[in-house]
Chain A
Amino acid sequence: EVQLVQSGAEVKKPGESLRISCKGSGYSFTSYWISWVRQMPGKGLEWMGRIDPSDSYTNYSPSFQGHVTISADKSISTAYLQWSSLKASDTAMYYCARPVGATVTAFDIWGQGTMVTVSS
């Protein structure tokens, strides 16, 4: 079964750092980009950025460039999303997602989501 499994919920304080993970299985991890999508409480979906696990090349949405870092370790089929200094406004559900294909960047495989809560 093709799946993405994300790390568990996190509760952090403003200014703390955090890295969440997304592990792929059931397919060739290096054959598909992995994207991260944010969903703030009660709000819609926002694409944050993506990584090519084969060479760790990344693209970021301008809205998130410089605020987060996306990385991957292809040896363990895992992608990461990290913050160096969290803000309360980072409180959201974060999903990783895999596209249908190289030219069809609709997302057919999603992780279960990681809820990040940032509060003092």
Chain B
Amino acid sequence: EIVMTQSPATLSVSPGERATLSCRASQSVSSNLAWYQQKPGQAPRLLIYGASTRATGIPARFSGSGSGTEFTLTISSLQSEDFAVYYCQQYNNWPPGGTFGQGTKLEIK
């Protein structure tokens, strides 16, 4: 099973600044990588799939990049509503539903 490792575990950033979150796969997942945002008490929300395609309704300040084993989620100018936990997910290899990273908590500095 592919292991997804996210870093850092916690990221402290001020509103208006840029946030960069990383996700590494233990083996290549091509571009079959998604990013989710989860706020307390809510279901996850899909932000990015295909490593760089924004899901419907996702603001342009969210962008994804990378392929193979190294991926990045960038939030260009943090808004108050962006402080949450972010998960990456590979869906290239078994199991069919993929495997998730352990999450990065983005908190207000």
Residue of A nearest to B102 (CB): A44
Contact with A along B19-50 (1 / 0, CB 8 A): 00000000000001010100000011110011
A27 contacts partner chain B, Cβ-Cβ < 8 Å: no
Chain A residues in 8 Å Cβ range of B1: 62
Chain A positions 84-120 with a Cβ under 8 Å from a chain B Cβ = 95, 100, 104-108, 110-113
Q: Are B100 and A47 in contact (CB under 8 A)?
A: yes
B96 lies within 8 A of A107 (CB):
no
Chain B hits for A49, CB < 8 A = 97
Number of A interface residues, CB 8 Å?
25
Shortest Cβ gap from B18 to chain A (Å): 24
Query: How many pairs of A and B residues are in contact by the CB < 8 Å rule?
Result: 67
B-side interface size class? 20 to 34
Residue picked from B46, B49, B56, B97, most chain A C-beta under 10 Å: B97
The reply to whether A105 and B43 form a contact with Cβ atoms under 8 Å apart is no
Instruction: Assess whether B108 is interfacial by the CB under 8 Å rule.
Output: no
Let me know if A45 and B95 touch, CB within 8 A.
no
Contacts A95-B43, A107-B34, A108-B55 supplied; 16 other A-B pairs, CB < 8 Å: A33-B96, A35-B97, A45-B36, A45-B44, A47-B96, A47-B97, A59-B97, A104-B91, A105-B91, A105-B97, A106-B46, A106-B91, A108-B49, A111-B43, A112-B43, A113-B43
Which residues of A come within 8 Å of B, CB atoms? 33, 35, 37, 44-50, 59-62, 95, 100, 104-108, 110-113
